[in-house]
Amino acid sequence: QGYRITHCSDGRQALKMIHEHDFDLCILDVMLPEVDGFAVAKEIRQYDTEIPILFLTAKSLKEDRLYGLRLGADDYITKPFSIEELILKVEVFLRRSKISTPAPAGRFRLGKFELDHDNLTLHQGGESLQLTQKEADLLRLFAENPNQVLKRSDILKQVWGDDDYFLGRSLDVFISRLRKYLRADESLKVENIHGVGFRLKAE
């Protein structure tokens, strides 16, 4: 299908490769030797909340599936499965990644901060913080809509390109990061509007 694939025979090797290289998608067998797939997924999610993780498993128990999803997996395929099904899921995940393209360049004021979206930096005083693309996109969305309630589904569509339920886990992680970045300015607060979404309160 034209994909470049890196195969790892055990979980330890998988972790080494993931730390050393950038990948668009991670397919994990739950029963990997040395370090199992669950442990690999958990470590990946500690520093990368965006890469799609797809589990291959012979375990059909609901508890196992839920455990993997809680760790941050995006989907499961239960063995035995067809290659066609696997390729279809891979295509879906990669298409989602392509939809989420960088927003146009621009600078935005956020209280004491200035967001330089084009260069993925957040400035405050004489200090600058390097952002990821998703962090910059999310901050821009809030900067363009101060004091307005943004629905979770709308945020996911605009920043991630899809309002898939499991992407909501990534959104929550990014909201926590933004709160940490903005806490130097007490006039700014990212509020959780229960059951609806979020609002950047700017006084």
pLDDT, residue 38, reads 92
Banded model confidence at residue 68, pLDDT cuts 50, 70, 90 = confident
pLDDT, residue 77, reads 86
CATH of the domain at 169: 1.10.10.10
Between CA 157 and CA 166 the distance in angstroms is 13
| Residue scoring higher pLDDT (114 or 68) | 114
Q: Work out the number of other CB atoms within 10 angstroms of the CB of residue 29.
A: 18
112, 124 in Cβ contact below 8 A?
A: yes
pLDDT above 50: residue 99: no
What is the number of domains present in the chain? 2
pLDDT, residue 104, reads 43
pLDDT above 70: residue 1: no
- Domain shared by 57 and 139, yes or no: no
Rg (CA), the chain: 19
- Picking from 73, 99, 125, the residue at the C-terminal end of a domain is 99
Q: Work out the number of other CB atoms within 10 angstroms of the CB of residue 101.
A: 9
Residue 1: inside a domain: no
Query: What value does the mean pLDDT take over residues 94-121?
Result: 73
Listed residue (92, 34, 85, 35) closest to 56, CA to CA = 85
- Domain shared by 115 and 153, yes or no: yes
Q: Which residues pair with 113 in a beta bridge?
A: 110, 124
Between CA 68 and CA 70 the distance in angstroms is 5
- Domain shared by 90 and 117, yes or no: no
pLDDT above 50: residue 179: yes
Residue 161: inside a domain: yes
Residue 175: inside a domain: yes
Q: Would you call 58 helix, strand, or coil by DSSP?
A: coil
Banded model confidence at residue 193, pLDDT cuts 50, 70, 90 = very high
The domain of 44 spans 11-99
Q: Work out the number of other CB atoms within 10 angstroms of the CB of residue 114.
A: 15
pLDDT above 50: residue 102: no
- Domain shared by 115 and 137, yes or no: yes
Q: Which residues contact 169 (CB under 8 A, 6 or more apart)?
A: 49, 72
CATH of the domain at 58: 3.40.50.2300
- Domain shared by 124 and 189, yes or no: yes
pTM over 0.85: no
- Domain shared by 45 and 125, yes or no: no
- Domain shared by 139 and 90, yes or no: no
Between CA 199 and CA 189 the distance in angstroms is 8
- Picking from 67, 99, 131, the residue at the C-terminal end of a domain is 99
Tell me which amino acid residue 121 is: T
| Residue scoring higher pLDDT (1 or 148) | 148
- Domain shared by 18 and 85, yes or no: yes
Residues 108-155 have pLDDT tens digits of 888 889 999 888 999 988 889 999 888 999 999 999 998 899 999 899
- Domain shared by 55 and 114, yes or no: no
- Domain shared by 81 and 148, yes or no: no
